[in-house]
Chains A and B, each alone.
Chain A
Amino acid sequence: MKNILKIKAVIYLFTIYLFTILISSCNLETIIDMELNDADNLPVLNCLFTASTPFKVELSKSIKVLEDNPTISYIQNAKVQLFANNQFIEELVYLPNNYYQSQYLAKTGENYLIKVEAFNYPTIEAYSTIPELPNNVQIYATDSSFIENSLAYKYHVILELNDNVNENNYYALSVIDTLDTNSEITYCFSTSDASIINSNKLNGDNFSEESDGNEEVFFCKEVLLSDKLFNGKNYKIEFNVDARTSNGENIKPIIKFSAIIKDYYNYQQSVIQQSLYGDNPFKEPVVVYSNIKGKGMGIFAGKICKYYSF
């Protein structure tokens, strides 16, 4: 009898214990306090420069990762110096639009160094250059048709290039509406070319549509082409451009073809990939590429553009 009572007491206590723990175990998400080596307040140098245009350097500060309302603040009193082939060119001037700008216009074939010194910030620097435009690129429209429904022309465009096997070439392709770089708007183009689709993953800016049994992907930003796609080959891609905006306005599309350096390609790809996978806890996070030397972040990379219109 005594033993039965003991067992009953144990079962009773065990039940209370289980009940208490089950209630407390419902919330499986907890806020944790981890000591992070905060890398805030470091200089961020962003400068994607184009041949025949001045250097425009955006110099901002990094922000705490757990900042509640993150806002970008700029470093205004820095000394930003530009060198070409190890020769000092000029100190860039800070403009009210948060850019440090040069008088000097970027050229191909020069090796540039940008150096940034600012009080209370680590000194940073970066090297870059502008690649040569390939002289064997052809972009032309083979067909244009007037689409009754949208009252606009649709162009079927072909890009052909013959790649040099000994060079690592990277390119960017986009469709714009004007040659004025300050007011340039990028429009979508569509393709079913697997090499473009594969190397420019589907993200929020791209979408796919099925037409006549073929899947076409619409790219509404710059598309990047890596040397791996065409190394040493005659490369040909086909794509379609609607000469009409989403607001129903007709445009005269301009194809912008740029030769970019590898750093530019790596940076842009890593930015896209981080945006795609950044929130997935089951994936390794993507580290955004940077060619900034010293304790800082950002990118300093050059390109040269060529425009084609029909």
Chain B
Amino acid sequence: MKIKNILLLLLFIIKSTLLYSQTLPANYTISGYVEDAKTNERLIGANVYNAKNFVGTTTNDYGFYSLTLPSLNDSIILIASFVGFEPNKQTILLNNNQNINIKLNPNIELETVVITSKNKEETLQQRTQMSTVNIPIKQIKSLPAFMGEVDIIKALQLLPGVHSGSEGSSGMYVRGGGPDQNLILLDGVPVYNVSHLFGFFSVFNADAINNVELIKGGFPARYGGRLSSVVDIRMKEGNQQKFAGAASIGLISSKLTLEAPLKKEKTSFIISARRTYIDLLLRPIIKAESGGNSYGGYYFYDLNAKLNHKFSDKDRLYVSGYFGKDKFYFNAKDTYQNESYSDKGGLNWGNATAVVRWNHIITPKLFSNLTATYSNYKLKTEIKNEQQNNNEKNSYQALYYSSIQDINAKYDIDFMPNPKHFIKIGTSVTHHTFKPGATQFKVENPNFNLDTLLKSSFTKAIEPELYIEDDILVSNRLKSNVGLHFTAFAVGNKFYSSVQPRLALRYLLNEKMSLKASYALMQQNIHLLATSNAVSLPTDLWVPATGKVKPQVAHQTALGWAYQINNNYEVTAETYYKKMLHLIDYKDGASYEFSAENWQDLVAEGNGDAYGLELFCQKKEGKFTGWIGYTLAWTNRQFDDINFGKRYDYKYDRRHDISIVGIYHLKPQIEISGTWVYGTGNAVSLPTAQFVSAIDNNQLLNYYEGRNEYRMKSYHRLDASITFVKQKKNGERSWNISVYNAYNRKNPFFIYKGINDLNGNTVLKQVSIFPILPSFSWTRSW
């Protein structure tokens, strides 16, 4: 009944929208793209409006805008603006439909942008969407780097409601959710494992990225499939004007980015590659230590590439891909008398994604996007032992594989019938293949050969989705975003379906201030079985909902207040409540490692609550930019089979979380930046007594009152960086020096019961992992 009512309401909205657009006499539509004048890069979320009546719109995910205005046989003043760019103003006689591509020049002076007349563009307080933060990529690249590597996910962790969980990690815990509940999209393709180096770096190379948007709640209907957040990362398209690039050498890695037009104004490409060289630096040391017999190491690399071709003003094709790999390896050899021995092995994992996208402008009011995507995450572990003498060879090999693969087709339409409606409709279907672990043993010797494959079963699932949403200007003060997201999940003999209503409201209190509210029902048909509770490991397994394990569900409600001060400062305050159902976790003591049991028998199903208050003040433009964020939050879990059914604090329940971020352009050639973060310590389970076992009188057992009853010490850290830029003949050269953990705070990573080396007493010991870490990088761009 409820669903029927919602559908009727949506039909009514669409019908009234179409009627409205038909009844208005002589409306003309101005449409086109907003682009960076220097590179032709499309600008996502740029504002376009008529300065005469302050009616406007914003560009979509592909930089397209469509503005339908009534013709009064008069000219309009069309203004386009975007953070970091000079606004573009032009007078247009509105007497027909017009295609106007607008080019914005980068605001190189870094002075505060003050738009003449009243600033009537859609600013923070005017947007319906709440719980959303868009950090300019320039700002992200100005933040202090960790080991010389700028990291997009680490920048997002500095926002209220988001944190990393443990020290240095690239995991994201958003509003009390788990790390698997974030839909991380690279050019619209979900990336399953966003970590390099056991979670300390993310897979996103900032040099190849154009735009980053984080949504923590009030999810528009076009997004689905995860409970807690959407991170929408868009790659650059490639410079259409001239050959450009950047090369960077850092402490542990180097990067090279090249972009150029293949045919000016028509076809361009970008390719960006990065590799670490810890292994190369350590190889001579390891070789010398082992007498030349052994070597080993670790490295990661990734490659982003994108090609785009403009067939006409109406059609554009994009082909993009990402390929990244982490590899840990070792090879040790030895000889004794006539026999030689060798042990080699390694662990490697990585993502591969590919997208083909066709943008087509059907009419000036109708924009379509057809997409085909592929995403694959693979892990392989291998150990091989060989023994050889003159006569025979014996070998033993053990391999472990796991992977998840998605193939998706998607069709989206943006319909902008008039300035009061922005309708998005889309459908997609995803074919998932889950291979949650296969172990293979191979034995070879003169008398015996064995090749066995255990647990090779894999699961396939089909996930169709359909959505419709409309951003409706109900009155000058009230705006709403209403939508429905439908999803189904067919796995084995089981079929799950869900209709998820989404609603966001904005009420303007005055020009500068608004109140916002939102509700979203989200369903996630996949789960992550984490191997460790402290770090993100490549061995973490993605598994589907099954007949036994239900999909995760979350209801999130949020209330907010937004205020813009002097066109320059944005302030928001938001409260939220999120109820999460059908979460999974390993039962006490259970683990997938070395167990041939079905994973479904190892997990418990439970619920979680998260609620809190987030305060955020951001300055996006001017010599000094940055933000201050504060979060007061609670999150807990309740599983019948964990902690004897008692509710307990989630490990990453963080009562207080503060982040202060500042970037200051001291001079055109010198930029300094700093971040300071503070967070309540993570919850931890500690024993409070020992007692004798009933099975063995000599065995003492630890007594825990419950899970996560204690807190580690609070976490705080200061990072700082300074960048020296020098203009060169055909570009610029910059040096960056960063310091991570500048005052060398020993932040807790884990606690264990140990022995005091000085007096032999039993004590609690805290282990920290990152002391002060200075790093540098050199970049040359042209």
What 0/1 readout, one digit per residue, does chain A (31-62) give for beta carbons within 8 Å of chain B? 11110111110101011100000000010101
B643 on the A face (CB < 8 A): yes
B700/A70 in contact, CB under 8 A: yes
Is A281 in contact with chain B by the CB < 8 A criterion? yes
Q: Which residues of B contact A32 (CB under 8 A)?
A: 713, 748, 751, 763-766
**Is B119 part of the contact surface with A, judged by Cβ < 8 Å?**
no
Binds B, one of A193-201, A232-240, A247-255: A193-201
Q: Are B533 and A58 neighbours in the complex by a CB distance under 8 Å? A: no
| A199-221 interface bits toward B, Cβ cutoff 8 Å, 1 = contact, 0 = none | 10110000000000100000000
A21 touches B772 (CB 8 A): yes
A131 in the interface, Cβ–Cβ < 8 Å?
A: no
Chain B residues contacting A194 (CB-CB under 8 Å) are 596
Using A30-B746, A269-B589 as known contacts, say yes or no to A44 and B643 having CB atoms under 8 A apart.
no
Whether the pair A287, B694 counts as a contact (CB closer than 8 A) is no
Asked whether any CB of chain A lies closer than 8 Å to the CB of B565, the reply is no
* Cα–Cα, bound, A298→B445 (Å): 51
- Cβ-based interface call for A24 (8 A): yes
Cβ-neighbour of A60 out of B532, B692, B764 (below 8 A) = B692
- With an 8 A cutoff between CB atoms, is B265 at the interface? no
Chain A residues with CB below 8 A from B744, complex form: 21, 24-25
Contact of A28 among B707, B761, B767 (CB under 8 A): B767
A218 vs B376: C-alpha distance when bound (angstroms): 40
Whether the pair B685, A46 counts as a contact (CB closer than 8 A) is no
Interface status of A8 (Cβ within 8 A of chain B): no
State whether the Cβ of A288 lies closer than 8 Å to any Cβ in chain B.
yes
Q: How far is the CA of A18 from the CA of B710 in the complex (A)?
A: 34
Partner of B589, one of A18, A30, A199, A270: A270
Q: In the complex the two chains form, is A68's CB within 8 Å of B691's CB?
A: no
> Across the interface, do B596 and A285 meet the contact criterion of CB distance under 8 Å?
no
**Which residues of A sit under 8 angstroms from B644, Cβ to Cβ?**
287
Residue B753 at the A interface, CB < 8 A? yes
**Segment with Cβ contacts to B, from A76-84, A102-110, A142-150, A271-279:** A271-279
The complex places the Cα of A273 from the Cα of B588 at a distance, in Å, of 8
Asked whether, in the complex, the Cβ of A286 is within 8 Å of the Cβ of B694, the reply is no
- Does B297 reach chain A (CB closer than 8 Å)? no
Q: Tell me the chain B residues, 679-703 only, with Cβ under 8 Å from chain A.
A: 685-695, 697, 699-703
* Closest CB in chain B relative to A228 CB, distance in Å: 7
Q: Are B694 and A48 in contact (CB under 8 A)?
A: yes
Cα(A48)–Cα(B692), bound, Å? 13
Give CA–CA (A307, B315) in the complex, Å: 81
Which residues on B sit within 8 Å (CB–CB) of A40? 689
Q: Which of A21, A37, A201, A271 makes the CB contact (< 8 A) with B705? A: A37
Interface size range of chain B in the complex:
35 or more
Residue in B443, B643, B767 whose beta carbon sits within 8 Å of that of A29 in the complex: B767
CB contacts (< 8 Å) of A31 on chain B: these are 756, 763-766
Q: Are A277 and B771 in contact (CB under 8 A)?
A: no
List of B residues within 8 angstroms of A116 by Cβ: none
Query: Which residues of chain A are near B774, meaning CB under 8 Å?
Result: 18
How far apart are A91's CB and chain B's nearest CB, in angstroms?
21
Is B597 engaged at the interface, CB distance under 8 Å to the other chain? yes
Is A306 located at the chain interface by the 8 A CB criterion?
no
A282 within 8 A of B: yes
Nearest chain-B residue to A64 (Cβ)?
Answer: B689
Interface residues of B in 723-782 (CB under 8 A from A): 743-744, 746, 748, 750-753, 756, 760-769, 771-772, 774
Name the distance in Å between A112's Cβ and chain B's nearest Cβ. Answer: 16
- Compute how far the CA of A29 lies from the CA of B692 in the bound complex, rounded to whole angstroms: 30
Most buried by A among B594, B689, B704, B707: B689
B351 → A minimal CB distance (Å): 23
Known contacts A18-B772, A22-B772, A29-B767, A65 near B533 by CB under 8 Å: no
Q: Are A287 and B766 closer than 8 Å at their CB atoms?
A: no
Docked pose: A213 CA to B450 CA in angstroms? 7
Task: Check B591 for interface membership: any CB of A closer than 8 A.
Answer: yes
Question: A65 to B753, Cβ gap below 8 A?
Answer: yes
Bound together, the chains give a CA A268 to CA B694 distance in angstroms of 9
B704, A287: Cβ atoms under 8 Å? yes
- In the complex, whether B448 has a CB less than 8 A from a CB of chain A is yes
Q: Mark B217-257, 1 if CB is under 8 A from A, else 0.
A: 00000000000000000000000000000000000000000
Contact assessment for A25 and B702 in the assembled complex, using a CB-CB cutoff below 8 Å: no
Could you tell me if B705 and A39 are in contact, using CB atoms closer than 8 angstroms?
yes
Contact with B along A105-129 (1 / 0, CB 8 A): 0000000000000000000000000
Q: Decide yes or no: A68 and B761 within 8 Å by CB, A34-B686, A60-B691 being known contacts.
A: yes
Q: Are B713 and A39 in contact (CB-based, < 8 A)?
A: no
Q: Are B702 and A297 in contact (CB under 8 A)?
A: no
By the criterion CB–CB under 8 Å, are A271 and B766 in contact?
Answer: no
What band does the interface of chain A fall in when counting residues whose beta carbon is under 8 Å from B? 35 or more
| Residues of chain A within 8 A of B533, CB atoms compared | 282-284
Could you tell me if B703 and A62 are in contact, using CB atoms closer than 8 angstroms? yes
Assess the B692–A28 pair: CB atoms within 8 A: no
Distance in angstroms between the alpha carbons of A33 and B710 in the assembled complex? 13
User: Looking at B692, B697, B753, which has the most chain A CB atoms within 10 Å of its CB?
Assistant: B692
Q: Are B705 and A282 in contact (CB under 8 A)?
A: no
User: Could you say which of A24, A42, A202, A287 has the most chain B C-beta atoms within 10 Å of its C-beta?
Assistant: A287
**Complex CA distance for A304 and B767, rounded to whole angstroms:** 47
Interface assignment of B334: CB less than 8 Å from any CB of chain A: no
Given A37-B705, A70-B690, A285-B704, the answer on whether A29 and B589 have CB atoms closer than 8 Å is no
- Say yes or no: is B595 at the interface (Cβ < 8 Å to chain A): yes
In this complex, the member of A31, A42, A267 whose beta carbon has the largest number of chain B beta carbons within 10 angstroms is: A31
Instruction: Choose one: A39, A64, A66, A284; the contact of B764 (CB below 8 Å).
Output: A66
| A63 proximal to B (CB < 8 A) | yes
CB of B285 within 8 A of chain A? Answer: no
Pair A298/B705 contact, Cβ less than 8 Å: no
**A283 and B699 contacting across the interface, CB-CB below 8 Å:** no
- A36-B710 in contact (CB<8A): yes
B3 within 8 A of partner (CB):
no
B606 to chain A, nearest CB (A): 13
Q: Is B706 close to A, CB under 8 A?
A: yes
Distance, CA A281 to CA B601, complexed state (A)? 24
| Contact status A288-B689, CB under 8 Å | no
Contacts of B24 in A (CB 8 A): none
B143 at interface, CB cutoff 8 A:
no
A271 to B697, CA, bound (A): 13
Q: B768–A28 contact, CB under 8 A?
A: yes
Interface residues of B in 60-105 (CB under 8 A from A): none
Residues of chain B within 8 A of A58, CB atoms compared:
692, 694, 697
Least distance between A111 CB and chain B CB atoms (Å): 20
In the assembled complex, A180 has its CB within 8 A of some CB on chain B: no
Q: Is the CB of A68 within 8 A of B762?
A: yes
Contact with A284, one of B685, B688, B756, B772 (Cβ below 8 angstroms): B685
Task: Tell me, yes or no, whether A299 is within 8 Å of chain B by CB.
Answer: yes
Q: How far is the CB of B763 from chain A (nearest CB, A)?
A: 5
A4 within 8 A of B: no
Q: Determine whether the beta carbon of A25 is less than 8 Å from that of B689.
A: no
Residues on A with C-beta less than 8 A from B689 are 38-40, 42, 62-65, 297
Residues of A within 8 A of B (CB): 18, 21-22, 24-26, 28-34, 36-40, 42, 44, 46-48, 58, 60, 62-68, 70, 72, 194, 197-199, 201-202, 213, 228, 267-271, 273-279, 281-288, 297-299
Knowing that A62-B690, A65-B688 are A-B contacts, what are 17 other residue pairs whose CB atoms are under 8 Å apart, sorted by A's residue number? Answer: A30-B768, A34-B764, A38-B688, A42-B689, A42-B691, A65-B703, A67-B762, A270-B589, A271-B695, A273-B588, A282-B531, A282-B534, A284-B533, A285-B685, A285-B687, A286-B589, A287-B707
**21 A-B pairs, CB-CB below 8 angstroms?**
A18-B774, A25-B771, A25-B772, A28-B746, A28-B771, A31-B764, A32-B766, A38-B689, A39-B689, A46-B693, A58-B692, A194-B596, A198-B596, A270-B589, A271-B701, A279-B752, A281-B767, A282-B532, A287-B706, A297-B689, A298-B694
Give chain B's interface residues, CB within 8 Å of chain A: 443, 448, 450, 531-535, 586, 588-589, 591, 594-597, 601, 643-644, 685-695, 697, 699-707, 709-710, 713, 743-744, 746, 748, 750-753, 756, 760-769, 771-772, 774
Closest 6 CB pairs of A and B: A273-B589, A25-B771, A46-B694, A39-B689, A281-B750, A282-B532
